[in-house]
Structure 1
Amino acid sequence: MHLTKVDPRALKDNPDRSRQTKSSPQADALLLATIKAVGVVQPPVIAPETGGGNGFIIDSGHRRVKQAIAAGLEEIDVIVVEASNDNGAMRSMVENLAREALNPVDQWRAIERLVALGWTEEAIAVALALPVRQIKKLRLLANVLPAMLDQMAKGDMPDERQLRTIAAAALDEQKEVWKKHKPSKGDPQVSWWSVAQALQKKRMYARDGSFGDDLAQAYGIEWAEDLFAPGDQDNRYTTNVEAFLGAQQEWMTNNLPKKGIITEVNSWGQAELPKKAERVHGKPAKGDCTAMYLDREGRVQTVHYRMPDVKKSKGNSTDGSEGAEDGDVGSVARPRPDVTRRGIEMIGDYRTDALHEALGRAPIEDDTLMALLILAFTGQNVSVTTGAGGVYYGHSRLARHVVALFDAEGHLACDMDTLRVAARSMLIEVLSCRENATKSGIVARVAGETIGANAFLPNMGTDDFLSSLSRPALEASCKDTPVLPRQRVRDTRAALVEHYKEGHFVHSAARFAPDVAELSKWLSSNTVAANDDEEGEQAADEAMGEDQADREPGEFLDAAE
């Protein structure tokens, strides 16, 4: 047996080798990267060719020879042994069976040893064909308390979550915890769960912080990286919870909008709003107020609310929401409607958000989409400048949704995908069910019913909404549920809230389908018959909110058809 150098291309494969299964591409890539970085560490074993040949065959190290050729090496070190009668079959089998994979703890320590010898993390990553982030993680594991590493090397290994918690803790903290939880003579196993629990600390992540580097520095926040988390996001964190929350509070103070407040959270984690404040469940209006607060994870959250009008009519409240809720005896000027004005406004918010979500996500056929787009422009809240010359307070912001339909030369592009996106965006812009100036009227109800927006309505089985219902309407909501009406309204409402906590309730008044009579009346008022005279055309124009005075009767009929 002797060591020599040979050209790897001159060596022949051994047909009697034990390992016949091909290695994985990942394993080959790792070996190739290692050979390029540090060469062939363990020389392959070769023997003279038998049967009259004058070359050499490979006893062990076929993959090393193959990847050395791929790496472009002209020569490699090899160990030459005498030829055997079985063509090296037994040596190949023993070599593979006796091989033992490197213990994980030994791998971690070996990488740390390479760093001590002058290797950079980048160079180690190249040699082992691993990401630099992985090398940093393995180095972190190598610096776990040596006594813990010795225990892990015996095969008593914590799970990944426990290991990452231990590795992230300071060495002094690990020492103190290990004194209490190290294995005893009677029980050689470690309760790694207990060790991890003792070292667990609340983490506040940088991605949840609204403040910048200036406030982080002012509050003495030092970020550490969670190397065990996915690498495609910001994994910096701090265990200085007090400093993190302080920086968040100062950021809220510096960025508080007009009509804004900073508030606390209640025991349910919800924002504490001012007394009599009405939370806005949809998109806020211009005059609404803003409340900022920190949730239980330390993130800045924002809610909107509106305060009731200062002036109120004498006697009953403007929305009829005040009164003998629990059936108290008293004078009643007029019966309470099934749904108060406040409830109707909430329904308008719910409908609008559900309609917009459905327009963005629900399947809509192209012909339906185009029909809805035309329908949307007959809404009460739409103002445009018509091509016929009638000016109706043109809404220039609508034009931004059609810019993508034009090419660089200013020609209208006919890409259906772009057209569909523009059509959905336009519909979201103009259709609204809110109980204010933006309400589109019956057309938004028709649109929502057509595309199935009912499925996007939120759970209305909440105390916030159910409190807007009259006693008969509330008790009617108990139908098809195991909830029985109680003597007191508030008890019935509480039982329904509990029932629908994990369910989904939509009040019949909130559904999109319009009243048949109302729809028929609207259709009749907007129908233009073929034999209408000039007076009939003018009446129809006024009903539709458009001035057709400059159109010829034939042009109007063509458009109507």
Structure 2
Amino acid sequence: MQILKLDPRALKDNPDDTRRSKSSPQSDALLLATVKAVGIIQPPVISPEIDGGNGYIIQAGHRRVKQAIAAGMEEITVLVVEAANDNGAMRSMVENIAREPLNPVDQWRGIERLVALGWTEEAIGVALALPVRQIRKLRLLANVLPPMLDHMALGDMPNEQQLRTIAAASLDEQKEVWKANKPKKSERADWYNISRALSKTRMFAKDASFGDDLAAAYGIEWVEDLFAPADQDSRYTTNVEAFLGAQQEWMTSNLPKKGAIIEVNNWGQPELPKKAERVYGKPSKSDHVGMYLDRDGKVQSVAYRIPEEKKKGKGGAATAGGLPETDDTVVDAPKSRPEVTQKGQDMIGDFRTDALHEALGRAPIEDDMLMALLVLAFAGLNVRVDSGASDTVFGPKRFKRHAARLIGEDGRLAFDGETLRVAARSMLIDVLSCRRGMSNSGVISRIAGDAIGADNFLPNMGSEDFLLCLSRQAMEAAAKEANVLPRQKVRETRAALVDHFRQERFVHTAALFAPDPQDIVDLIKSGEVLDGDTKGHDGRDDNSAEEEDVDGSALGEEEGLATPEDEADLPDSADDAPEAVDPDEEQDAYGIAAE
């Protein structure tokens, strides 16, 4: 190495210089002012020509040499070094990256030149302190149309997402799109429309339920997205039809018992069969499972149940929920929108019932409280018994299996305290329900749940499905309680609440078990019946509104009473009626809770 003073005009530019894009006028003006004020502080590096010439080639400092010429300097100090075998390719690459970030196109061209000289991607990454993934990402620019690359080299670069889309398209497609969207001179390219015209739907391997065997059978080839985070499975395919076909075959082969493949509507939501009711709580054995593909091609499932056929009244007309049809000519004033919709009330009923059953199975309950709850349970609206006090049929007999645990081999009662507790808990779980419809136990289940602390077993209701059922006022009240700032639009407030309640538990006040005081008053009044008022009747209050809600109208003799021949139609075993869990399987859990 030696130091010389040479005329900057006699120095030649390096044809293999890494930096091809022009520097900005502002940076050139700043460098020129610095050269005029203090001169060139760090001498440029040059080397003799290796092709037989007598001149010198600039290895580092092209901008300094140009600004020295612009400043009118006659001589500058330079460092003369021997020419490298690669004509300074790696040295130029490192020098330009360290001084000012290179344009991605210039980086790619420099990397391709190093690869042509025998450098591996790993060696280039070590030398440039870049991850190998970044090297491979830059090499994707080889798939970009050359005219596009030339325009990018001028400083007009698309963002990473747009560049990924462009590089994934074929050259023929890029050529057609570039021809239609080529910018005029001195104008920026419309990379948004260019990438949108070249974009293709991607189906990701992380959303696939099928394995490699089905992927090979359908001819699916996975492509790795090098622009995605390195710690994620970024494989994808653009063969949408093959991907969806493999997903459909996997669903067909893996349908659960009582499962079915259902369609989705225009909004990507599952379309349940007619009269089906979606189950938002814990599904039972009798519930159905619908499997479908969402908009991303991912397999999703939803639980639903098919309600029983509605009974007909005396006149033969179908009744809704067991209520007789009436001709009401009174026009009520329009009511304000409730805080929770009917669908939300259905969800609350499911949540309450699951929480009540879980509390009955696990929460500590004293023996006297347990027996009191058992008495309450048989006063529920959904409990029907073959009464011996009259000929009226009150309902099916489902409780033989619980009574069987208390009977010994000699036909006499034989049980210990733990067996009695387990049977009582199982009986309560079968009887008490907060679900809306025929199985609703009424205020009885609310009193029982409040007594045993079933509020602690309610699930997190901060999901989008439930928040969709709240009115704007109710949602803003929930946001205020959770210290979440309400947004201008309802859907934005809902999204903020969903995000907030992912970490915290939310239970709407309308879902708590505390009963309505008026319902308590009505329950107490129903017990204040004189003996004289019940003589000549079947033991029921004919004016009971609660019983009418469940049974419709009182059963008359002409409708036919339950006879031994009709008992086959009444579910008297666990398999004939909906059951969340098998009591025999939970006997150990009930025993632990009883202790």
Q: TM-score when scaled to structure 1?
A: 0.50
Please say which structure displays the higher CA radius of gyration: 2
Structure with higher RCO (Cα < 8 A, 6+ apart):
2
